[in-house]
Every structure is written in C-alpha cells, then in structure tokens.
Structure 1
C-alpha cells in the first residue's frame, strides 16, 4: 500500500486487508493535513471512491488519536444520502473501512421498520447513515440525539436537491451543533449547492478533483444515429451486440419504461424495471435479480436509478437523450468502475443529432459517431462468441464421457454441432433489420459546421461553402405569408433533417426554393413520402439543378387552402375588398389552426379586423358615424 501518510493506522489495516494498492485522486485529496479540521466542498464524479474518501477524512475527527472507538452512545457522525440503496451501500463500505476501530454503524432509511431503527439508536451508535426524510422523523421524535455530533457528510448533495430534499437538509443541519465539521460531496456544484454550502459551512475548502477524467478513460462513448421509428430496434441490436453481464437502459418517463419492459420481455430478454411507481419491496427484488444474474437488463428512469450500484455493469444505453450534460455524466458514470471497461451508447434519432452534439460538447465528451449494429454484425458477433465459448475447453467428467460417446455413435459430429448451435441460439432474441439512413461522417459534418446555418431569404445566391446539395420547390411563397421561422421547423419535422442540413432558402411570390444537403436529400424524400406533401397540403418538388431565382414568378395553385387558389381576375369579388397581405398575420404556420386569417373581408357593416391586433397587423377599423 502506498501514499498512506495521514491515514489512521486502523483504517490503513482495513484498506490493506481489502486489497487497496492505490488511492484515487479524491481519496488522496482528503488526506491533506490542511483539511484535518476544516469543512470541505468536494466535486467528484460517481464511482470515484467518494465513500472511502469521506471515511478517511472523518477518522481523525472521530477517533481523536485513538485506535478504537469507546463504547457506543450518542452518534458522533451523520452521513446523509439521497436514496435508500445508496445509504445502505455507504453503510456497507464504512463497515469494512472501520472494521478495526470497533465502530457501530446504524442505518435509518425509508422502507425499513422505524421501530427497529429506534431501538438500534437507543443501544448506541458511532456513525448513523440515512436518508433525509427518515432522519428528520427520528430527530422530531427525539430518537436521534444530535448533541455530541462532530461531523455531518452530505453525499450526492446535488441529487438530494434535485429530489426536493432542501428543506429536510436545512432542518437536519440546523438541528446539529454549530461547531460540527460539514463535508459536502457532489458530482457538480450548481448555484443551489454553492448557496447551501455558504449557509451551513465555515470557510469550506473547495476541492475539485480530476477523478472524473480518469473515470471516463474506461468509458467508451458511442452516439448511434437511427431513423426515429427505429429507436427500439436499435436498442435491441445494441444489447444483442454487446451481450453485457449487466446493462441499464435509461428512459425519460415511467410510460417509456413500462413499454420497453413489455417489449423486451416479448423478445426473450431477462429484464427488470425501475420506476417511481414501484414499492420499496418490488424495487429491492428487481435489484437483487440483477445482482444474482436472474436478470441482465435494467430499464429505469433517472430518478428511480439514482443511488443504485450494480456490479459488472458494462453497458449503459440512453434510450431517451438526457436533458442536460450533468445527467449524461451521472448515467454514464455507473459503468467503467474499478478498472472495468464500459460502453455508454446514446440512441440519437436523426432529427435530434444537434441536441446530442450539444450534450456531448457541454459534458466535454468526445464520442464516436456511427450507426447501430446491423443484424449481420450482431449475427457475426454471436458466431465469434460461440466459437470462443469456454465450454469447449472444459474436460468432461467420466460419466459425461460415456454419454458423449453414445451421442457421437447415435447422431454423428455434424448433427451434434447443429443441435448445439440451435440450442445456443434458442435463448437469444433475433437481431432487427434497421432502416438504412443517410449519415454524414464526422469529417464532412465538421466541414459544414463552420457555415452560418440556414440562409435567410435576404441572403443573395446559394452558399458557396455548403457543399453538394439538391434544390426543392415548396408550394408556398410571399403571397401565402411563408416565413422561415415556421417553414424550417416544418421541413425538419416532416423530412427528418436538421437545420444544419438546410442551406439557402429563396422566397418567391408563389413558391420557395430550399437547398438540402445532397447526403440528406434521399432521407428527406423518403420521409415526406410518395405524395411529396408536408403539413396542410404544402407540396414539395425536386428540381433539376439550381433554379433561376430571377425568372418571373409563375402563378401556382396552393394546395393548403382554397382561399389562395389562382385567379385570372385579381379583382375582389362583389361585397369584398382586398387586404394588404404583407400586413396580415401568417395564415399557414406549422401549428396555426386559426380560421380567421382570410385574405378577403367583407365591406363595412360591422367592425372588421384587417389583421390580428398585437401580431403585426394593423389596428381594427370601425365605420365612421353618420352626422
């Protein structure tokens, strides 16, 4: 064991017994003599060894130079964790770390018998580990005496605030002695955490370790681009391709968890679900099934998965993209632990690629972009695993040897091999055929990312640096109040393209010319279907070459609304007068369901609006009073 300067001898023996050969960066930082009696605000990622770190930091304060604790009485230290699973995990870690000191460690968590916990507290404890809500209950019922408390640890402080435990944390900290040490450990330090630290810590030492960088060395990030309708099939192929010992699939909602769980059960996967609707008993059974190998895939929401620790978790799949970069790091940090390699795979629908890029950039992560494993790649990987299966290297017992001879004599080697392959594949889900998509490689995409994005109508001429492109004609123009602010989202939504894949937009009187990247033109045509129509009857036509932007406008019928049909005589009908369309509110936005934006309004009789007040239109005109 190295770098043990400052470690209490009894703790050092426990570390050596556990087989520790080197401390992690966050653990080393807690051995700084300057922290011996100071408060600390520590930012370190999930899986960086925080539990051992604050165990090392607490030991000098609690033992006060002794090798063993005196008989247990009132608690000396309090550790607060966001979830039951994490609290119990912390308790197990501290039990072996303080084994040589004679420490009595008690847990107080929701879902357990509160009477048993009260009796344990009455017998005495040196360290109490619990969740905020249950600790508050014990304090209010005077079962937890905080009078001699020397230290309080907040583990995963950011998660506790996210889960709504701010008031509970403030109550616990205010009930503890003013001269206590307060150690806060958090993966991130947002403004809420900084404010909490300022209120309840005294001259806290700020420690930002590089543990997260080391952690992510063992995680391979993959961004897998799929057609939006192929998301579930892609997840199936990823699970089948890696065949991880344990895998977790993250969804954004309970409904998505239930849907994927049912789908994967039907596909012969051994799965369990974790969502907020489960009871504590159901949740415990699900996690135990993952730990003992009865299940290999856990499908969970972000909140339900907080605090869980699954051994051998080699694969994390983001079925729904995380909402922010912190969530991405929290999810991914559950793999790649203790020197094991792990894979974090983001399932990226084609129209959400830009969002995924922002997430990865904000998290400081460089991911390899590509497509999900195809059915052929999964089958090829299965064959490799079959040929390398360790079962072929096992020496048969004497009883089995006789049976092998009988099987060879009865069926022959070829039939036995066929039977073995069939048996091997019978418990596996068949891989899915995925839709072919047009996907740009990183080099081409980086070249295009230096452009200024979609062109506004005021820009002149095609963009020279956009690359190869295909032009399309859209059957709305200035005459129909077409605007890029609703036309671009409509093209992205219906054509499964992103803004980056849209080049110049040239507005004409009755049509609009749109430039689409050549690599995405096939996907665009396939997505809008054989009718070549967008929403509200707007039609799209592919053009040969670059259109002539200076040719006279041709009057074309607009299929979206018959009010804009082509009229040879542009004079208003009897009883109507023509309004200025430039002042009228847009009548054909992607989500515009108004039916009052008509280009013709009746002559005075009753007050009429020529435009919608407050939306760029003129003020209402009222008929003049007679006399």
Structure 2
C-alpha cells in the first residue's frame, strides 16, 4: 500500500511525499481510515511503529475541510496529551511538517520553561495543541486555554501516563472537553487501569492492535555480552572503538550513571551529550538538537528518553544497564531500526542482571545472540570440592577391640 491509496487530502500527500514517506506502516494502514471515519479508537502498538503519523494525518485531514470556511480567531480543534516534554515537542514538529501546505496552526506547551511565550502564541489562536498534562491544566486555570470547540482528543502513550502518575490529570482534562468529540487512545501495553480509563472516556471504541511480531522490530539485530559489572565501561569503550559506527544511544538506569559514563567517554575523546530528568528543559532540548545535528554522535540517557524522542538514523542502541521490565527493553531498542530500517541493539549483562535476560527473551519470543569472543568474559566459578571431614589419621575414641568385646544386654 502507498499513502496515495489512503483517503487523504492532496495537500497532506504532498507534504508526506516531501518527507520521503512512501508506504504507510501497519499501524497507519489500520488506524487512518478508522480515524477519518470519526470513530473512537484504542490502539495498542509499541513505540517506533509510526503512531504519530497514524493520528496526525487523519486529524489534519478532518480540519482541512473547515480551515478556509472559518472566520475570525482560530480555536483549538484538536488536543494531543503527551506524557513527556520531549515527546510533546517531537509530535509538534511532526504536525508542523504535515501541515506545511495547509493554513492550520499548531503549537506545543509544556512545563520547565516560561509561561509567557506560550500564552502569547495561544492568544493568537491555534488549531492543534500538543501539551503535557500539568502545563495544560495550569494554563486552563489561568484562562489561557478554551477547549469548548474541541473535535478530537488524543491520549498518547497512555501506559506511560499511568507510570508517571498523570492518569488523574488526564481524567480532569477529559472533563474539560465537550462530550461530543472523537477520542483516540494510544498505548504500548494495556494494563487494567488503562482499560478502565478507556471504558469511561471512549464511546464504543474500535480496538486495533499491531501484532507483537510486527512491533518487536524484526530488522534489529540483538546481541548480548555477559561481562563483569566492573568491566562494563571497558567493554563499552572497546565496542565503540572496534565494532560500532554512526549514531549511538546508550541507556543507563540512573542519572548518576549517565553523568559518570558521559565524563568517561568525553575523556576518551568522544562527542557525547546526555539526557535525564535532573537537567533543565533548555539543556534537554539542546542535547536532542546536538544529537540530531551530529554535533554529538553519542547520546546517553535514562528511560525518560526511551519514548520521548524520535530520531531517524540511530544506528546502535546500547543497554549499558539492562532494564528489569521487558517492555522497557523493547521501547529502548525501538530507537533504532525505525520504519522498517535495519538497526543494532547491544546489551551488556552482569551476573546480577541474568534474570532480566530470561524475562526479556520470554517477552520477545526469541533468544538474544550471545557474543562470547570479547576481552572481558565472565569467568565461570570452579566448583568447590567438598572438604573431607573424616581424618584417616585421627584415632577413634574407642578401639576396634573395645567395640568387639563390648557386652550387650540383648
């Protein structure tokens, strides 16, 4: 199937063609016609499957029909709720690109930056608003956001919203919207609380799912190195020197670990930037821009970035620390091999992480390829001999004769 086979406006197809998108992904093929039909939709699909275009293109398609007939100030017609600032920013960039040949106006609001510039843009009027939950509610309380004419509400990465404690905010936002609207809910996984949320805010939704085999990034090579924890940095440097080329994202479990590895790689002459929750929003934005623009070839991040950025042409993902949740592993490696392109994921596993490997392999339905030929293998402990507690030279308390001559009463 080609994008031209979908019922999309010619101006959207022109923008899509300029972005060199030719064939829609599976989730786009399934979702776009249903969303254009103005049905509520629940879509279960992993990251990296093209979800943003799956809801952006049909939303723009619906708004194009009325863009030239409206008079006066623009009002918010579509609202996309995103859990992270990075993802909100990325969604806004995608909408801008898709809206290139329309008169639709889009903007993004999120916390960590000044309110005033966001208020100024909102006062001028926008058609499409992308927002994180907290900042949206703040601006609504200050009278800067009017959702009375909203036509479409999108809740993106709903399971991540749940993990980050935003579900109550999402419910509050939904109550601010008109009852008569289209609601789209996207989630990589479907825990019970997400199912319960969907049942309260969606009307007779169409349920779509992209099969797990299609979301596990078939084109990603997945390698596993067993290595002592103390040698992980050494092995990482060795791989960067000898095995890895191009853009690399390295995932660490903690903010301290990110900073420590960044300093080490910089000392070894690598162009590195980093991303974690303790950095200011300006520094986080700069890190992503530097990585996108090749000012840095390596990005070290905590899982805040696993679903928060969409960067094309990431060649390798390194799991410096293995995640203890299988879905997180899939989100991480989904940074490479996007839109059907090939990619490589390398995982460094210390002894205390072996149990995580079993969980991941069971979830993805295949074994990771173990690479044993490297400079820092895990030494298998030699089996200890059980000590012989019987000393042949030690005399018994009683002699054999005394035992032999002992009289018994029976």
With normalisation by structure 2, the TM-score equals 0.87
Aligned match of 2:170 = 169
Aligned match of 1:217 = 218
For the structure 1 residues 214 and 175, does the alpha-carbon distance in structure 2 shift closer, same or farther, using more than 3 Å as the test? closer
1:285 aligns with 2:143: no
Report the Cα offset of residue 99 of structure 1. 2.5
Matches within 5 A, 1:256-271: 256-271=257-272
Report the Cα offset of residue 167 of structure 1. 2.0
1:130 aligns with 2:131: yes
- Distance, in Å, in 1 between the alignment partners of 2:229 and 2:207 is 44
Matches within 5 A, 1:40-189: 40-59=41-60, 61-63=62-64, 65-66=65-66, 68=68, 70-71=70-71, 72-189=73-190
Matches within 5 A, 1:346-357: 346-350=347-351, 352-357=353-358
Aligned match of 1:524 = 382
Number of residue-to-residue matches in the alignment? 394
Of 385, 397, 400, the residue aligned with 1:541 is 385
Report the Cα offset of residue 244 of structure 1. 2.8
- Distance, in Å, in 2 between the alignment partners of 1:112 and 1:369 is 44
- Distance, in Å, in 2 between the alignment partners of 1:304 and 1:37 is 32
1:39 aligns with 2:40: yes
CA contact (8 A) 1:61 1:150 kept: no
The alignment partner of 2:165 has SS state of: coil
- Distance, in Å, in 2 between the alignment partners of 1:316 and 1:222 is 10
- Distance, in Å, in 1 between the alignment partners of 2:164 and 2:391 is 59
Report the Cα offset of residue 127 of structure 1. 0.7
- Distance, in Å, in 2 between the alignment partners of 1:111 and 1:364 is 40
Report the Cα offset of residue 269 of structure 1. 2.1
- Distance, in Å, in 1 between the alignment partners of 2:69 and 2:284 is 35
Q: Deviations over 1:350-403 (max 9, x none)?
A: 4533431222212334421123x63xxxxxxxxxxxxxxxxxxxxxxxxxxxxx
CA contact (8 A) 1:315 1:342 kept: yes
For the structure 1 residues 262 and 542, does the alpha-carbon distance in structure 2 shift closer, same or farther, using more than 3 Å as the test? farther
The alignment partner of 1:239 has SS state of: helix
1:554 aligns with 2:390: yes
CA contact (8 A) 1:132 1:168 kept: yes
Where relative contact order (Cα < 8 A, 6+ residues apart) is larger, the structure is 2
Q: Deviations over 1:588-616 (max 9, x none)?
A: xxxxxxxxxxxxxxxxxxxxxxxxxxxxx
CA contact (8 A) 2:220 2:344 kept: yes
Aligned match of 2:274 = 273
The alignment partner of 1:313 has SS state of: coil
Could you list the structure 1 runs, at least 4 aligned residues long, displaced by more than 6 angstroms after superposition.
none
CA RMSD of aligned residues (A): 2.7
The alignment partner of 2:315 has SS state of: strand
CA contact (8 A) 1:158 1:188 kept: yes
- Larger C-alpha radius of gyration, 1 or 2? 1
Report the Cα offset of residue 60 of structure 1. 5.0
Report the Cα offset of residue 46 of structure 1. 1.4
- Distance, in Å, in 2 between the alignment partners of 1:9 and 1:305 is 34
- Distance, in Å, in 2 between the alignment partners of 1:337 and 1:213 is 12
Report the Cα offset of residue 348 of structure 1. 1.2
Report the Cα offset of residue 211 of structure 1. 7.7
The alignment partner of 2:145 has SS state of: coil
Report the Cα offset of residue 69 of structure 1. 6.4
Aligned match of 1:345 = 346
- Distance, in Å, in 2 between the alignment partners of 1:351 and 1:187 is 28
Report the Cα offset of residue 105 of structure 1. 0.7
Report the Cα offset of residue 41 of structure 1. 0.8
Aligned match of 1:533 = none
Report the Cα offset of residue 222 of structure 1. 0.8
Aligned match of 1:296 = 297
The alignment partner of 2:32 has SS state of: coil
Aligned match of 2:403 = none
For structure 1, which runs of at least 5 residues remain unmatched after alignment?
A: 375-433, 439-519, 526-539, 548-552, 557-565, 570-627
- Distance, in Å, in 2 between the alignment partners of 1:337 and 1:119 is 36
Report the Cα offset of residue 555 of structure 1. 7.6
Report the Cα offset of residue 179 of structure 1. 1.1
- Distance, in Å, in 2 between the alignment partners of 1:270 and 1:524 is 42
